[in-house]
Amino acid sequence: MNVVARRARVRVTGTVQGVGFRPYVYRLAGELSLGGYVLNDAHGVLLEVEGVSAAVDEFLARLGPDAPPLAVLERVVAEELEPGGQRTFTIRESPRGEIPDAPVAPDTATCPDCLRELFDPVDRRFRYPFINCTNCGPRFTIVRGVPYDRPSTTMAGFTMCAACRAEYEDPSDRRFHAQPNACPVCGPSLPLLDAAVTALRHGAIVAVKGIGGYHLACRADDERAVSSLRARKHREDKPFALMAPSMAVAESLVVLDDRGRELISSPARPILLAPRRPGAPVAGSVAPGAPELGVMLPYSPLHHLLLADVGETLVMTSANVSDEPIAYRDDEALERLKDIADLFLVHDRPIETRTDDSVVRAARRPMVLRRSRGYVPASVPLPGGTPLPLLACGAELKNTFCLARGTRAWVSHHIGDLQNYETLRSFTEGIEHFARLFAVEPEVVAHDLHPEYLSTKYASDLDGIELVGVQHHHAHLAACLAEHGEAGPALGAIFDGTGYGVDGTVWGGELLVGTLRDFTRVGHLLPVRLPGGDRAVREPWRMACSWLVASGIEPPAAWRQIAELARSGLSSPRTTSMGRLFDAVSALAGIRTEVNYEGQAAIELEAACDPSERGSYPIELTGAPLVIDPRETIRAVAADVRAGRTPGVIARRFHRTIARATVEACVRLADTHDIGLVVLSGGVFQSRLLLDSVWSGLAGAGLRVLVPERLPVNDGGISYGQAAIAAATL
């Protein structure tokens, strides 16, 4: 009986490097008695298999479905070759010198197998803070280049001992070709762990070097420690993130549904924003005035050891002085944090790229509020692709940048607010690193229209580059469309704080009809003055004053000077900002007249809402373009304040009013323009209450609704939208 032999060459693209894919292929080929080879190259994984035809068929059938848990296969293309008689299977060296086109895996939480070894007293890696395997551990934060091999990572300086080398070369071992493989004999070291545990138990603040940078940690139930951390970090009110030792402890702090449990325990291990439980055992200074707590589970071996030894939930916040980027280099951290931390817990594995923790919310659908560690640098498809390599510089607040080539877009980790030198340096260094990593030499650069944004100035200073200016709110619309693979047209309700309009005014409450190429402004919030410009962002009482003036109500005597600015327009540009309207009502209701972080007034306004309230306020929709005119709303709010209504009643009525007006405006415009698709985006839609109400109303009216899911609804998604628009217009 003749046995038919076959040989197939297979190209696999996607996230297939640094996730144990080559060892998996090796074992699968061995199980099926196939010869051939597998290697990493600049495009992903290339392999050839040869053997009995049925075995080759089975190999191809199982290649995707049985792949390692961290692998993400985008394409598998096989071609038939002439058999060559090869009976052995090998892992070949990665070729050098090609243009890289292979995604780099994100950093991934410690897997169950490594966790068992970490706490096993007889295991040789017992309590080793850098335990990892092909299914977990650092990736993006240690990689310096692709293909992903040890010499291209910050582990290059650590030579594997004989035991680790044996694991690395053993096809039956899960550390087979695990690039960061190490142990206490040959790998990175961490002194002072016991001292840090003791210090934390006694109320100290400890700077902890983690995966993508330093954290500042203290006991979450220690009011003195948390208050001291706030004072030293110059962070008055913005909530601190928490790290809970276990899922059970996390559930004692916040209310989790199945989706929340899935998110918080996923390999990305983000910070999950969830409703706090009444009486949650945390200090009052952890998240003053916030309805939610941000909780994460340990994601590195060091965190597991620290949390297990301390035995308490810890505050785990980015190590920086307020508004600066997270510290990640040791000398820099020691200098910048010396007046904040009582003790430094430092290891000797270098961090290549600083990366903050990601932040998500389990709302109607999972919502990413900050996309960083655990998600970056996974590429995002770019519908239609770009004929030229391009860079999109993003916005000023919550900045990310985006590099794109072909049909791939790489949206960066969270950079922060581009308002100081340190953050700008992080921005420029990040662009250079991504450009090297993914071999993108931009020929086109997209940027925001605002001439004073540092990201815009960065773009304008580049030589020999084609510049594409993109309107801020169009970028929000396009980002959501492109993420969902849609080209439009769609109606977009884009509500945020600030965006430079094509008419030179400050937009922020916009109704757009648009595609990836262009847009028309078909509606907006009634424009009012922004008294004192940026000061009105920090002092919501100024916006309250402005809206009172616009509504024909005489402001309090103490506000008369600002009222004159609003009337005269001196140092008071016009704005249609929905975010500033929320600020105004927060101030009028007596909830927040000045803010210490972006969005604070709106967050506390939502937190104050009385869930039993069913009323709302009058509001007008007039004209073409359609104007959402809340002057009647403001008059009714003012009347409620005079009547002694509680802030909770006012807050709930206001949210119901804006939701109702948004739904009515969208339904009316969708009918006028014969559009059945609505996009909701912009930072204002970070409000769970507003988003759920508007979404339900639109869906009930028969409209299809899209919101950002893989990318932030806030300005963290702007760069991707800029890239999508630039690609579509080239």
Confidence tier at 124 by pLDDT (50, 70, 90): very high
Instruction: Report, at the CATH architecture level, how domain 380-484+716-729 is classified.
Output: 2-Layer Sandwich (3.30)
Query: CB–CB of 454/440 below 8 Å?
Result: no
Report, as an integer, the average pLDDT of 629-656.
98
Pairing mode, strands 5-15 and 366-370: unpaired
Instruction: Give the DSSP H or E segment for 425.
Output: helix 421-437
Q: How many CA within 13 A on the CB side of residue 580?
A: 33
Rg (CA), the chain: 27
Report, as an integer, the average pLDDT of 45-54.
94
CATH code of the domain made up of 193-370: 3.90.870.10
- In percent, the amount of the chain with pLDDT more than 70 equals 98
Task: Give me the CATH topology for the region 493-708.
Answer: Nucleotidyltransferase; domain 5 (3.30.420)
Distance of CA 331 to the CA centre of its chain: 27
Distance between first and last Cα of the chain:
60
Distances (CA, A) of 683 to 129, 243, 582: 38, 25, 12
Mean pLDDT of the chain: 94
Query: CB–CB of 607/289 below 8 Å?
Result: yes
Query: CB–CB of 616/630 below 8 Å?
Result: no
Which of 679, 710, 683 is closest to 694 using CA atoms?
Answer: 679
Place of tokens 């702007």: 718
Pairing mode, strands 89-91 and 35-41: parallel
Identify the pLDDT of residue 103.
67
Q: Which residues, 6 or more positions from 246, have their beta carbon under 8 angstroms from its beta carbon? A: 297
Confidence tier at 486 by pLDDT (50, 70, 90): very high
Query: CB–CB of 61/165 below 8 Å?
Result: no
Which of 358, 628, 313, 668 is closest to 495 using CA atoms?
Answer: 628
Q: Which residues, 6 or more positions from 614, have their beta carbon under 8 angstroms from its beta carbon? A: 656
Identify the pLDDT of residue 139.
92
Asked whether the domain spanning 493-708 has the same topology as the one spanning 380-484+716-729, the reply is: yes
Report, as an integer, the average pLDDT of 487-495.
96
pLDDT of 100 over the 60 cut: no
- The span from the CA of 476 to the CA of 468, in Å, is 16
Confidence tier at 1 by pLDDT (50, 70, 90): very low
pLDDT of 2 over the 60 cut: no
- In percent, the amount of the chain with pLDDT more than 90 equals 85
Q: Of residues 568 and 364, which shows the higher confidence score?
A: 568
3-class state of residue 140 by DSSP: coil
Identify the pLDDT of residue 678.
98
pLDDT of 519 over the 90 cut: yes
Query: CB–CB of 582/609 below 8 Å?
Result: no
Query: CB–CB of 295/241 below 8 Å?
Result: yes
- The span from the CA of 107 to the CA of 355, in Å, is 10
For the segment 342-392, what is each residue's pLDDT rounded down to a tens digit?
A: 999 999 999 999 999 999 998 777 899 999 999 999 889 999 999 999 999
Q: Name the amino acid, one letter, at 230.
A: R
Sheet order of strands, 206-209 included? 343-345, 206-209, 214-219, 314-318, 241-243, 292-296, 271-275, 359-362, 366-370
Provide the residue ranges of all domains of the chain, joining segments of one domain with +.
5-91, 193-370, 380-484+716-729, 493-708
Please state which of the ranges 1-5, 196-200, 560-564 shows the lowest mean pLDDT. Answer: 1-5
pTM of the model: 0.92
Q: Hey, which bits of 276-422 come out as E strands?
A: 292-296, 314-318, 343-345, 359-362, 366-370, 380-392, 402-411
pLDDT of 146 over the 80 cut: no
pLDDT of 584 over the 50 cut: yes
- The span from the CA of 173 to the CA of 135, in Å, is 12
Report, as an integer, the average pLDDT of 451-479.
95
Identify the pLDDT of residue 172.
79
Tokens linked to 597: 């972080």
Please state which of the ranges 17-21, 63-67, 482-486 shows the lowest mean pLDDT. Answer: 17-21
pLDDT of 429 over the 80 cut: yes
Query: CB–CB of 310/219 below 8 Å?
Result: yes
Place of tokens 């109702």: 660
For residue 278, is the peptide bond before it cis, meaning its omega torsion is within 30 degrees of 0?
no
Task: Give me the CATH topology for the region 5-91.
Answer: Alpha-Beta Plaits (3.30.70)
